[in-house]
Structure 1
Amino acid sequence: MMKNKILLSSVTLLSALIVAACGNGEKKSTETTAAPTTEVTTATPTTTAPTTTASASSDAKEVSLGDTQRIGREDVGYINVPKDWIVYSSSKYPDLFRYSSPDKYNILLLKSFSKEQFKLNDGEPWGAKAVADRMYVRWKDDKQQTSLEGVKTKFAGEEAYLLKVTFTDGKTLYDWFFLKGDLVYRVAIEGSEETINSLRPILQNTWSLDPKFPRQY
Structure 2
Amino acid sequence: MKNKPLLVAVAVLSLVSLVACSSPKKESSGPSSSESTSTSVVKETIESSSKVEKKTSDGDQSSEETKRIGSADYGYVNIPSNWKKYESVENGDNIEYRDPSGNYAIILNASNREKANVAEGEEFGPDMMAKRFESGMNKTNKVVKISRSSVTVGGNEAIQVNMSLKSGNYTILWTFQKDDKVYNIVCVGDEKTIDQLTTYVKETWSFDGTGAVTD
Structure 2: which amino acid aligns with 1:76?
Y
Corresponding position of 1:51? none
Corresponding position of 1:116? 114
**Structure 1 residues 13-67: Cα deviation after superposition (integer angstroms, max 9, x where no partner):** 256x622599xxxxxxxxxxxxxxxxxxxxxxxxxxxxxxxxxx97499763x51
Corresponding position of 1:12? 15
Deviation at 1:172, TM superposition (A): 0.5
User: 8 Å contact 1:110–1:186 — kept in the other structure?
Assistant: yes
**Shift in CA distance, 11/127, structure 1 to aligned 2, threshold 3 Å:** closer
Deviation at 1:175, TM superposition (A): 0.6
CA distance in 2, matches of 1:95, 1:119: 15
Provide the TM-score with structure 2 as the length reference.
0.71
CA distance in 1, matches of 2:56, 2:147: 19
**Structure 1 residues 158-195: Cα deviation after superposition (integer angstroms, max 9, x where no partner):** 11111111211111001100111211001111011111
Corresponding position of 1:208? 206
CA distance in 2, matches of 1:59, 1:9: 34
Deviation at 1:127, TM superposition (A): 1.8
Give the gaps of 5 or more residues in structure 2.
Answer: 25-54
Q: How does 1:24-43 map to 2 (within 5 A)?
A: none
Would you say how many aligned residue pairs link Structure 1 and Structure 2?
178
Match of 2:65 among 56, 64, 67: 67
Corresponding position of 1:188? 186
Give the gaps of 5 or more residues in structure 1.
Answer: 23-56
CA distance in 1, matches of 2:163, 2:61: 21
Structure 2: which amino acid aligns with 1:6?
A
Deviation at 1:94, TM superposition (A): 5.8
SS of the aligned residue for 1:136 comes to helix
CA distance in 2, matches of 1:124, 1:92: 27
- After superposition, the CA RMSD in angstroms is 3.0
Provide the TM-score with structure 1 as the length reference.
0.71
Match of 2:99 among 98, 101, 112: 101
CA distance in 1, matches of 2:172, 2:129: 15
Corresponding position of 1:140? 138
SS of the aligned residue for 1:203 comes to helix
Deviation at 1:199, TM superposition (A): 2.6
SS of the aligned residue for 2:10 comes to helix
User: 8 Å contact 1:63–1:199 — kept in the other structure?
Assistant: no
Q: How does 1:72-91 map to 2 (within 5 A)?
A: 72-91=70-89
Which structure's residues are more often strand, by fraction?
2
Deviation at 1:74, TM superposition (A): 1.6
User: 8 Å contact 1:162–1:177 — kept in the other structure?
Assistant: yes
Identical-pair percentage? 25
Deviation at 1:210, TM superposition (A): 1.3
SS of the aligned residue for 1:190 comes to strand
**Structure 1 residues 75-95: Cα deviation after superposition (integer angstroms, max 9, x where no partner):** 211110011111122155463
Corresponding position of 1:38? none
